[in-house]
A and B are shown apart, each in its own frame.
Chain A
Amino acid sequence: MLSILKRIATTGIVSEPLPTLADLKAEADDLQARIFAVLGRALTIRQVDAGSCNGCELEIHALNNPYYNLEGAGIRFVASPRHADLLLVTGPVSKHMEIALQRTYDATPEPKRVVAVGDCGCDGGIFGASYASCGRVANVIPVDVTVPGCPPAPVEILRGILRAVTLPR
C-alpha cells in the first residue's frame, strides 16, 4: 500500500489544460458552461467502432489517460447509447455494421450529436466503399463534425467533440 501511495505522490498531477477552440474563440474554462447550455448536464459519449482498423480506438482510449483527463472535464464514455448525448463513430462503416450503427443512432435520445473520427470515418479512407463497406459514416447516419487523421491525435478528437457540443442547435 505504501508503495502505491508513494508512486501516486511522486507521479503528481500530469493532466494538461483542455485545448482551446481557436475557431470558436472559446476558453477552456467555459466549456462546462457550454456543455450545460447545450445539454443541461455533463456530456456523455457512446463510442461505436463501425468497422475501423482499431487504430482510432487506441487514440480515443488515450483521452481517458491522466494527460487528457476527459472525465475531469465532465465528459465521459457510457456503455449504452440510451445514456449518450454524442456518438463518436469510427469507420469505414462495414456493411455488417450498418444496421447496428443505425440502431445505435436511433437509440440515442435527442438532442444528439455525431462525430466521425478518422480518415475512414470522414471519407472512407483507404478502404473506400465496396461490396463490404459503406464508406464514410455520413453515408449511414447524419454526421455533425468530422475529425480527419490516421489516427487523429487525442487532442484533435477532443477538439472535434468540443466543436460538436458548441454547434448551434
Chain B
Amino acid sequence: MNAPASRPIEIERLLRGQWTLHARAERDAGGVLLALWASDERDRGGGGVLRAAFLRADRLRVLELPVGEREAGFPSLAPMFPSAARMERAVQDLLGLRAEGGDARPWLRHAAWPDGASPLRRDFDPARSVAPQTEDYAFVRVEGEGVHEIPVGPVHAGIIEPGHFRFSVVGEKVLRLEQRLGYVHKGIEKRLEQLSAIEGRRLAARVSGDSAVAYSWAYCQALETLAGATITPRGAALRAIALERERIANHLGDLGALGNDAGFAFGLSQFMRLKEDLLRVNQRAFGARYLMDYVLPGGVGGELDAAAVETLLAQTRSLEAEVRALRAIYDDHAGVQDRFRSCGIVTPELARELGLIGLAARASGQARDLRADLPCSPYDRLGVQVAMRSEGDVAARVAVRFDETLESLRLCWELLQSLPSGAARVDLPQPTAGIAYGLVEGWRGPILVALETGPVGSVRRCHPHDPSWQNWPLLEHAVIGNIVPDFPLINKSFNLSYSGQDL
C-alpha cells in the first residue's frame, strides 16, 4: 500500500534556543537538510512558523520554530548546513523573517516587489508591485592581476532556462563562479494558496516541467494523507512506471546533451532519437508525451490496456539493448572520456560538507535514494539498486545516469510484468485541515511537498522543494579551477532546475 503516513516522519516543535542545537544534532547523526521554509501565522495569533526538514537514511524529521510577531529574525542554520543560506534568504524575501548573521542580500526578490513587502504574508497587497526596473546586485568581486569577469545571462545562448552566471577568470581558468537566480520566480507558492487542494495538483506538476510526475506524486501523497486515503496497488504501480519513464526520458536527454557538449554529436542524435521513441510510446500508452496530468489525487488518470502494456514491455526491452550499445561506445571513445574525466569534481567530503543530494550526490559517494531508503509502495517490493560512484566528476555523473537508466528499465519491466489488477484510482474524501508531507525520488533527487490545508479543502500553505536548491551552490564549487569552455559540460552534468528553485 502507498501509505506515506506510515513512513517514518517525526515532527517536533522547538523553542528558539533549541533550533540550532537540534539542527546540529541532525548534522552529527548524518542528516541532510532537505528543505527550509516558513509560513505566516499572524491570523492565528502568532508571528510565523519556520520549518526545516532533515533527511536521514531511515526517516524524515521536521523541526518547527514558532517566530513571535514582534521578532523579525531567527537563528541561521547556515553555519552547520551551508545549503540553508539561500533558503533563508528566500524566507526573508517572501516572508520578511531574517536569518540572524546570514547573507542579507535578497535571493528570489530582484526588483518586482519592494523590500519589506512580503508576498507570502496573508495581508500582502499585490497592487504594491512596482514598475519593471533593473536591480543592482552586489556580486562578490575577485581582484588581482589579470582577473576579469564574464557575465552570462539571464537569457542564455541555448534552449535553456534563464539565470545569471558571473565568472571571475584569469585567462581561461575559472577562479570563481557566482550564480544569480530568481529570474523565473512566478509566484508559485502564492498561487497555490488561491487554488483548492485538489486543483493544486495541476500547479504542483508544473513547478519543474521535467519532473511533473515526481512533483504531482509528492503533492498527491501529502493530499492523500490529509484525506486519509490509500491508493490501490495498481494505482501505485502505474505511478511508479510513469515516474521511472520520466527518469529514463530525462537521463536519455542528458546523456545525449553531455555527449554533444563533449563534441560528440553522434551521441546527441542517438539519445534524442531514443528519447523521442519513449515520448511517442508515452503518447500511445498514456495519451500524452509528457505526463503533466497523469498522477491525480487518489491514483492515476487513464488505464493501461493489454496492448499498451505489451508496447511498453517491448520498448523496455529494446531501449535496454540500445542504451547498453551506446554506453559501450561512450566508454570506448577516448575523446569523450578525456572531456568527462577529472572535469568538474565534487569530492565526497565536499558533497557531505555542503549537503549535496540526489543524482549528483550519488556520483560523489553519497548512496542515498528514497526509493531504497524510505520506499513507498510499490518500491518496497522492488529492491531498488542504488547507483553510486565516488569520483564526483562529469564521468561519474554520466555513469550514474547510465546505471539508473538501466535500473529504471528493470523496474519498469518488473512493474509491467506483475501489474496488479483492480482500480487505478479511488475516490478521495475531502482532506481535513492540517499539514502533511509528500516525498518522492525524482530524477534529480528527493522532492518534498509540504502541504498545509485550511478549512473546506483550501490550500493554506504549500512549499514544493526541489533538490536544485541544495545542488546549485555545489556547481559553483565544481567549476573552480576548470576552464571556461568546460562550464557547459559541467553545468549539464548537474542539469539543475531554475523554475524548481525560483518558484
B431 within 8 A of A: no
CB pair A54–B208 under 8 Å, yes or no, is: yes
Q: How many residues of B contact A (CB 8 A)?
A: 59
CB pair B329–A55 under 8 Å, yes or no, is: no
Q: Please, how many angstroms separate the alpha-carbon atoms of A4 and B212 in the complex? A: 34
CB pair B325–A57 under 8 Å, yes or no, is: no
* Closest-CB distance, B124 to chain A (whole angstroms): 7
CB pair B132–A95 under 8 Å, yes or no, is: yes
CB pair B112–A59 under 8 Å, yes or no, is: no
Binding site secondary structure of chain A: mixed
The verdict on A53 contacting B208 (CB below 8 Å), with A7-B270, A77-B159 known, is: yes
Q: At the interface with chain A, which of B5-13, B22-30, B186-194?
A: B186-194
Q: Please, how many angstroms separate the alpha-carbon atoms of A84 and B185 in the complex? A: 27
Q: Which of B110, B129, B162, B253 contacts A49 (CB 8 A)?
A: B162
Q: Please, how many angstroms separate the alpha-carbon atoms of A56 and B161 in the complex? A: 11
Task: Point out the residues of chain B lying under 8 angstroms from A14, CB to CB.
Answer: 273
Q: Please, how many angstroms separate the alpha-carbon atoms of A11 and B322 in the complex? A: 11
Q: Which of A62, A96, A99, A150 contacts B184 (CB 8 A)?
A: A96
* Closest-CB distance, B437 to chain A (whole angstroms): 22
The verdict on A55 contacting B155 (CB below 8 Å), with A7-B329, A131-B126, A133-B187 known, is: no
Inter-chain residue pair count (beta carbon < 8 A): 166
Chain A, interface size: which category?
Answer: 35 or more
Q: Which of A4, A58, A66 contacts B329 (CB 8 A)?
A: A4
CB pair B187–A132 under 8 Å, yes or no, is: yes
| Bitwise interface map of A from 1 to 15 toward B, beta carbon under 8 Å scored 1, else 0 | 001100110010010
> Which residues in window 131-168 of B have CB below 8 A to A?
132-134, 154-155, 157-162
| Bitwise interface map of A from 104 to 121 toward B, beta carbon under 8 Å scored 1, else 0 | 100000000000000000
The verdict on A79 contacting B158 (CB below 8 Å), with A130-B187, A132-B113 known, is: yes
A44 within 8 A of B: no
Q: Please, how many angstroms separate the alpha-carbon atoms of A29 and B312 in the complex? A: 35
B62 within 8 A of A: no
A21 within 8 A of B: no
Task: Point out the residues of chain A lying under 8 angstroms from B290, CB to CB.
Answer: 55, 58-59, 151
CB pair B289–A59 under 8 Å, yes or no, is: yes
Task: Point out the residues of chain B lying under 8 angstroms from A60, CB to CB.
Answer: 159
CB pair A49–B191 under 8 Å, yes or no, is: no
B230 within 8 A of A: no
CB pair A66–B159 under 8 Å, yes or no, is: no
CB pair A54–B161 under 8 Å, yes or no, is: yes
| Bitwise interface map of B from 254 to 273 toward A, beta carbon under 8 Å scored 1, else 0 | 00000000000010011011
> Which residues of B does A touch, CB under 8 Å?
110-113, 119, 124, 126, 128-129, 132-134, 154-155, 157-162, 182-188, 190-191, 202-203, 206-210, 212, 253, 266, 269-270, 272-273, 275-276, 279, 289-290, 292, 325-326, 328-329, 332-333, 497-499, 502
A-B CB contact pairs (8 Å), 22 listed: A7-B325, A14-B273, A49-B159, A49-B160, A51-B186, A59-B290, A60-B159, A61-B159, A62-B279, A66-B269, A67-B276, A77-B158, A79-B157, A94-B184, A94-B185, A96-B110, A96-B111, A96-B112, A99-B132, A126-B202, A127-B206, A130-B187
> Which residues of A does B touch, CB under 8 Å?
3-4, 7-8, 11, 14, 47-62, 64-67, 77, 79-81, 92, 94-100, 102, 104, 125-128, 130-133, 150-151, 153
Interface contacts beyond A4-B266, A52-B184, A132-B113: sample of 11 additional A-B pairs, CB < 8 Å, sorted by A: A4-B329, A7-B270, A53-B209, A55-B209, A59-B290, A62-B276, A97-B184, A100-B183, A130-B190, A131-B126, A150-B206
